[in-house]
Every structure is written in C-alpha cells, then in structure tokens.
Amino acid sequence: MHNNLKRKYYFINNLNTKHIDNLDKQTAVIYRNYQSDKEDIFNLIKIRNYCRKKKVKFFLSNNFKLAIRLNLDGAYIPAFNRKFSHLNYSTFKKFEIVGSAHNIKEIRIKELQKVNKIFLSSLFKKNRNFLGMNKFKLLTKLTKKPAVALGGISTKNIKKLNIIEVFEFAGISFFEQKKGP
C-alpha cells in the first residue's frame, strides 16, 4: 500500500466489527454521530473495549468531557465547534486532541483550541469545502501543527499524498472499499 504513512483515521458512526478487524495498528477510529443528541454510553464503551482488544486508538467527536471520563485515547473537535471550554479540563499525558478546518480562520481557531493535529478538508472530494492539492499545500505552510488530509482519499489517489508531503489521512469510504475481487 503506502509505505510512508504514519497514521490513518477512520470515521465511524456505529460499531462494525468487520471494519475494525481489518484495520492495522496505525489506524485510529473516530466515533462521530451527529444524528443523535445524546451519546449512547454503553455503545461507546463497547466500541472502546473492542478497539483496545484490537490495539486500535479510539477518539470521540465533539464530546471532550465524555472522552476523558471514558478514558479514551483522544477527542476530535469538528470545524463547526469553536468553543474553548475543553481547555478547562485536565487530561492525562497520552490524550490527543485533533480537529478539522477548512480555511485559515478555522486553522487559527484550532491552534487556539490547542489541537495536536489539524485535519484539512476537502483534499480530493469536490464539495463546498474543496481545497485541491495546491490550496491544501498552501494551508499546511501557514501552521506549525501537523496536517492530516481529509476528504475523497481512495486507493487510486493515495499516492498523491507523497506529492503534497502529507503522511497521514482520514476518511470513511477509503476503509469501506472492497479489498480484492
């Protein structure tokens, strides 16, 4: 596959053990469920335990306090979340905070939110947040935080990540593609 990759991030909204079984140890799972207002704690514990059994890191989206309480590996702050309340909580040493951004203003907000990595989207997927390779590269130069490619990454275009010198990516469809015939 892609030899230079450090970490991959897989977005899920429910537990699918078949998909998690196929992940390697360099892949982290980010649970995000924006359809429901209330998190199902029992479901999150089940996902956390399964990920630990498979030695896969597990992050929770948009609920920093619950991520700490459940002793997860980290939290994901989406681009629309501009709050700073998570800075009031103390975290353990290996707790990682990651967040997404679409433009320079959102990058500055994520830096103030003290994220460890910034997911920049959309690299290949042509939606309203489409950056393309050139704009993506320019935005990565405007921050000292490590950039993670997000949006439209597939087995066909994964080698293009070498061109823009990004060695981490996130997605959904890449991990759900059929491998083999």
Rounded Cα distance, 64 and 111, in Å: 16
Rounded Cα distance, 162 and 86, in Å: 34
Listed in sequence order, the residues at least 6 apart from 166 whose beta carbon sits closer than 8 Å to its beta carbon are 136, 140, 147, 148, 149
Instruction: For the chain, give the mean pLDDT.
Output: 85
| pLDDT, tens only, 88-138 | 888 888 999 999 999 999 999 999 999 999 998 878 877 777 787 888 888
Domains and CATH numbers, the chain: 7-173 (3.20.20.70)
pTM, whole model, 2 decimals?
Answer: 0.86
Q: Which of 40, 33, 129 is nearest to 79 (CA)?
A: 129
| pLDDT, tens only, 156-176 | 888 888 888 888 888 877 877
